[in-house]
């Protein structure tokens, strides 16, 4: 991702932006008091416009502090949401789900299109070691931490040891998940390019496949631990195989069709993205395939098996700017602040342990793979964020294991809330320090001098 950075804003401009932000919140507050029962399509459209405006203004105001735009979008949603200022109710936030589907489709398209074969071949050794070590070390490490914290986690207090081990393994799988949406959101803002950016895209975008397979394996192991009458079944692996192969086949077909459209027509791409993101997502889910994996494969095919890759990627990036604002602002509005307040000590401990284990695993993998100092120093930073996939896995675990699933999901929501706020900040700081953001000067020469120390 590359591009020119915007010029710094003056103090007067920042004051005007802050004033506009306050005025917008005041106007919606007055409107919700004057018309408390506004709902339906009108309420959703008004919420969409409001989140777009306040999210953009909040991100601009946080920019001088070195914070990513994502943080501003999320904070705007948190403030406007049903748990703080009550400007948007739960029903209105839920009605914006179609925008979220479009955002996830664009995220997957961009992620696949950013994966170039030459980049993957060049970084294959590094990515293989990072994926293997991060998966094993984070899963085992976080399972141990979770078990150690049993006295402070209400839904596993007094649970037998084998059952507790099973829940710990499930939490380990949850900890392995990353956030492609947060990564691409930060990259879209910073216009970053370089080794750290390439490593991050390769690792995070391929991690979804690893997590899907890992979840199926671990759930097959955990069932007998929770219920001795059950036995390990290969049927679940057959389902996962069907999902993965079907998603890849569908994504390949879709990618070839998009490439043909770009070559023969090449206009009205926004309508194509909306149709695919909103309509095709539902069809793919109905077929029991994974929409994000299908769209990611489609983007990869367009980039690597046609000459339309750059045109496609430019169209996705130009469309995703506005959609990202609403997507992350809605994510902020979804955050259950009372829940986070209630269980924040345990959630904070789990988040801190995950960040620490991720850092250690990253250093170990980089040393074994003989990564350059840049990756060795900052390769862990983009791996902290968590978002949609994590919550999806938590919901799956809740349905599969109702005896403890509700508490498990609640704790997952709290940890995602923390990682969603902290992760993008860490990643942007790493890109700035690495000199890969469009607004920073390269510092790789300094990092080379640190190679012996690292």
In the predicted structure, residue 452 carries a pLDDT above the cut 60: no
Highest mean pLDDT: which of 86-100, 343-357, 381-395? 343-357
Q: Is the pLDDT of residue 372 over 60?
A: yes
Cβ burial, residue 57 (10 Å; 0-12/13-18/19+): buried
**What is the reported pLDDT for 155?**
84
C-beta separation of 2 from 193 below 8 A: yes
- Domain at 99-449, CATH from 3.30.300.130, 3.30.465.10, 3.40.30.10, 1.20.1530.20: 1.20.1530.20
Mean pLDDT of 299-321: 86
Residue of higher predicted confidence among 134 and 242: 134
Q: pLDDT digit string (tens) for 106-150?
A: 877 887 887 788 877 887 888 899 999 999 999 999 999 999 999
Residue with tokens 């602040």: 337
Between CA 451 and CA 371 the distance in angstroms is 10
Q: Please, which residues have CB within 8 angstroms of residue 240's CB and are 6 or more apart in sequence? A: 212, 213, 216
Q: What is the pLDDT of residues 1-40, one digit of tens each?
A: 444 445 567 888 889 989 999 998 888 888 877 776 655 5
* Confidence (pLDDT) at 440: 56
* Residue 254 near residue 298, CB atoms below 8 Å: yes
Instruction: Give residue limits of the domains in the chain.
Output: 11-98, 99-449
Q: Residue 16 corresponds to which tokens in the numbers above?
A: 């005007």
Q: How confident is the model at residue 388 (pLDDT cuts 50, 70, 90)?
A: low
**Percent of the chain's residues with pLDDT above 90:** 20
317, pLDDT greater than 70:
yes
Asked if the model's pLDDT at residue 165 lies above 90, the reply is: yes
Map tokens 């004057």 to a residue.
34
């Amino acid at each position: 991702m590359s591009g020119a950075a915007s010029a710094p804003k003056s103090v007067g401009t920042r004051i005007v932006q802050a004033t506009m932000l306050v005025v917008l919140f005041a106007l919606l507050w007055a409107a919700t008091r004057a018309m408390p029962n506004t709902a339906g399509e009108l309420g959703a459209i008004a919420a969409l416009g409001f989140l777009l405006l306040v999210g953009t203004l909040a991100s601009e105001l946080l920019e001088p502090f070195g914070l990513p735009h994502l943080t501003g979008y999320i904070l705007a949603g948190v403030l406007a949401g049903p748990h703080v200022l009550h400007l948007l109710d739960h029903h209105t936030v839920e009605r914006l789900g179609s925008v979220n589907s479009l955002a996830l489709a664009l995220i997957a398209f961009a992620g696949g299109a950013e994966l170039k074969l030459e980049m993957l071949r060049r970084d294959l050794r590094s990515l293989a070691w990072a994926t293997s070590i991060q998966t094993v070390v984070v899963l085992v490490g976080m399972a141990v931490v979770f078990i150690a914290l049993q006295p402070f986690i209400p839904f596993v207090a007094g649970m037998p040891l084998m059952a507790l081990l099973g829940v710990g393994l499930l939490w380990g799988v949850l900890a392995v998940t990353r956030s492609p949406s947060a990564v691409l959101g930060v990259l879209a803002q910073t216009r970053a390019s370089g080794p750290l950016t390439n490593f991050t895209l390769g690792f995070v975008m391929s991690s979804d496949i690893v997590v899907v397979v890992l979840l199926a394996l671990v759930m097959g192991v955990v069932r007998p631990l929770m219920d001795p009458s059950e036995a390990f079944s290969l049927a679940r692996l057959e389902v996962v195989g069907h999902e993965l192969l079907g998603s890849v086949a569908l994504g390949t077909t879709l990618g070839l069709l998009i490439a043909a459209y770009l070559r023969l027509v090449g206009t009205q791409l926004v309508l194509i993205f909306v149709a695919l993101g909103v309509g095709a997502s539902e069809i793919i889910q109905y077929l029991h395939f994974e929409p994000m994996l299908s769209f990611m494969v489609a983007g990869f095919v367009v980039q690597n098996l046609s000459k339309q890759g750059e045109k496609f990627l430019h169209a996705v990036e130009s469309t995703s700017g506005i959609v990202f604002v609403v997507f992350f602002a809605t994510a902020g509005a979804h955050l259950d602040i009372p829940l986070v307040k209630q269980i924040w000590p345990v959630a904070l401990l789990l988040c801190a342990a995950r960040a620490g284990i991720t850092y250690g695993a990253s250093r170990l993998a980089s040393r074994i793979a003989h990564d350059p100092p840049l990756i060795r120093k900052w390769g862990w930073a983009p791996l902290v964020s968590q978002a949609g996939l994590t919550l999806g896995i938590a919901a799956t675990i809740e349905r599969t294991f109702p005896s403890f699933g509700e508490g498990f999901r609640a704790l997952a929501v709290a940890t995602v809330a923390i990682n969603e706020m902290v992760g993008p900040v860490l990643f942007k700081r790493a890109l700035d320090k690495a000199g890969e953001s469009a607004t920073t000067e390269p510092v790789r020469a300094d990092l080379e001098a640190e190679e012996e120390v690292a």
